[in-house]
Structure 1
Amino acid sequence: MSTPQPPMPQAAPAPRWQAAPGSPFPVYTSPIPVVRTHLGHAVASEWTKIRSVRSTLWTLGVFVLLVVGIGLLTGVVVASSSSDLSGENALSLGFFGLLLGSMCVITLGVLTTASEYGTGMIRTTMTACPTRGRVLAAKAIVFFLTAFVVTLVSVSVVAFLHVAMLGGNGAREPSGGEWLKGTVGVALYVALLGMLSLAVGSVVRHSAGAITIMIGAVLAPLVIALFMFSSSLEDVRQALFEYSIPNQLSVFYANSLSESGPSGWDPLWIMLGVTAVVFAGAFALLEKRDV
């Protein structure tokens, strides 16, 4: 008895040539269905990139370690001491870990765009998606959602731990509005700070340079203000304190470093406005410059 042979694979359909209406010359018609690309395809591509590179794992891993680790350590130290937190918001101690962790989000934001210029990958990206604005928009969407979710989970864990640990030290239970600001609000702010870094990386096109600029933007106002001893510069010194990123971040925990300046949700609107302006510049330059 003969052994049955497996079926032969079918060849791909041959290309079809059809005469164009009103023309004696044939026109090629591809047998492969052509799908019109859209923003969703670019988002899927950028999601594949951001989850497959090591920098994402390292930066977000260190971010979680700093936020949760320092938050937990601070809570343990305060809870085991005789510190009286009477009337203090139990969420306020989460500020210290998040301030350090924001450096990791800044770094990842810059690398999301600037690293492709260093490796030359940007040419492949732009060849696959010639609509440059769509590429930058897809990067921003993927990065914002990633940074927001990771930050929200991290600060929420720290918030629940502090409320459970600091009740014996007189810390008060946060209100609903304070819970919203100390978790969702601060996560939105940090994600926007990372998006600002992403836009700066697109403008500068150099990872180290863009990271330096962003770290300077975070720390320089406070450092400069510390050395303004002249009374004639008191207004400038106060403004640097009030609108510095660390002070705006502390507003979400109701422990602002200054008595005046932004309050409530003001820091979020300020960061949103600054990020929008820088992104507009990044879009304009992306369309004009070569890759």
Structure 2
Amino acid sequence: MAAPSAVLLSEWTKIRSVRSTIWTLVLSFLVTVALGAIICLVFNNTWNSLSSHDQATFDPTATGFAGMQLGQLALIVFGVLVIASEYSTGMIRTSLAAVPQRSAFYTSKVAVAGGLALVVSMATSFVVFFLGQSLLGSHKASIGDPGVLRAIVGAGLYSTLLVLLCVGAAAMLRSPMLGLGILMPFFFLVSPILSAVPKVKSVAHYFPDQAGQQIVRVVPNTDETLSYGPWGGLGIMALWVLAALIGGYVVLRQRDA
């Protein structure tokens, strides 16, 4: 039986030795920070042209995190490649031969991917906040304001949960193309579209991304009423993640490599 520390080290070595996985995290950081900074700068320069309603409901913290919408694209790719790439290359057979205990193999992969995502996501969140608020001028929020620190930390947790959700889904689908072909349209087409359709948006609010992203809001959205708060939304997303990870493990355990 392989030692847990050795399995963790092997999974860490796999991730850092594959350039595509590392670059997805770097790209996520750059896109989220750059887009958030641009949007904050635009709001600051066009503030006087906003309506009184838009000014009254302006959320400087959530505005800084607007780049997450595009930055999560790279996180989805990272989460899928972490495990599905082993199936596409056939490396999964070697991995399971070296670590026959599939629970140890899967747990280590999830732990390393989640830990790396957490470090990068938290760093991204704090950089995004301080850079974005510096560009908002007098309209900025301070980290000591009510709900702001929760939003910053929550943004990092949201991104980490997104990665873990994709890891679990990719473990069930066992293919990078299939994983990306399902997850990309869901997060960038299906979920946003359904959340804007009046008759089904009450259901779409319980999708993992729609619920989880409520954690970054500090100023409540008066145009919609939710049955859960910021932490409740993140909890809903965590349940989706748990279901995906359990599903991934069941498939890994029951099916041949």
Give the structure-2-normalised TM-score.
0.87
Question: Compared with structure 1, are the counterparts of its residues 184 and 225 closer, same or farther at alpha carbon in structure 2 (3 Å cutoff)?
Answer: closer
Q: Within the alignment, does 1:40 sit opposite 2:5 as a pair? A: yes
The amino acid that maps onto 2:213 is L
Q: Aligned match of 1:119 in 82, 89, 97?
A: 89
Alignment-derived partner of residue 245 in structure 1:
209
Task: Please name the residue that 1:22 is paired with.
Answer: none
Q: Distance in 1 between matches of 2:195 and 2:153?
A: 30
Q: Looking at CA atoms only, which structure, 1 or 2, has the larger radius of gyration? A: 1
Counterpart in the other structure of 2:184: 215
Relative CO higher for 1 or 2, CA cutoff 8 Å, sep ≥ 6? 2
Note the C-alpha offset of 1:182. Answer: 2.1
Size of the alignment, in residue pairs? 249
One-letter amino acid of the structure 2 residue matched with residue 108 of structure 1: F
- Superposed counterparts of 1:1-291, under 5 Å: 37-83=2-48, 85=55, 88-168=58-138, 170-175=139-144, 178-218=147-187, 219-226=189-196, 234=199, 236-241=200-205, 243=207, 245-246=209-210, 248-254=212-218, 256=221, 258-291=224-257
What is the one-letter code of the residue matched to 2:81? L
Q: Supply the AA of the counterpart residue of 1:109.
A: G
Aligned-partner residue type, residue 239 of structure 1: V
- Residues 238/146 of structure 1: CA separation in 2 closer, same or farther (3 Å cut): same
| Contact preservation (8 Å) 2:155, 2:216 | yes
Q: 1:99 to 1:247 in 2, by over 3 A?
A: farther
**Any gaps of 5 or more consecutive residues in structure 1?**
1-35, 229-233
2:6 counterpart letter in structure 1: H
Q: Is the 8 A contact 1:140 1:198 kept in 2?
A: yes
| Range with greater deviation from structure 2 (210-219 or 200-209) | 210-219
Q: When you count helix as a share of all residues, which structure comes out higher?
A: 2
CA 1:264/1:237 → structure 2, altered by over 3 Å: closer, same or farther? closer
Hey, what's the Cα distance between the residues in 1 that align with 2:73 and 2:250? 27
Structure 2: which 5+ runs fail to align?
Answer: none
Q: CA deviation at 1:46?
A: 0.5
Q: What is the TM-score when the length of structure 1 is the normalising length?
A: 0.78
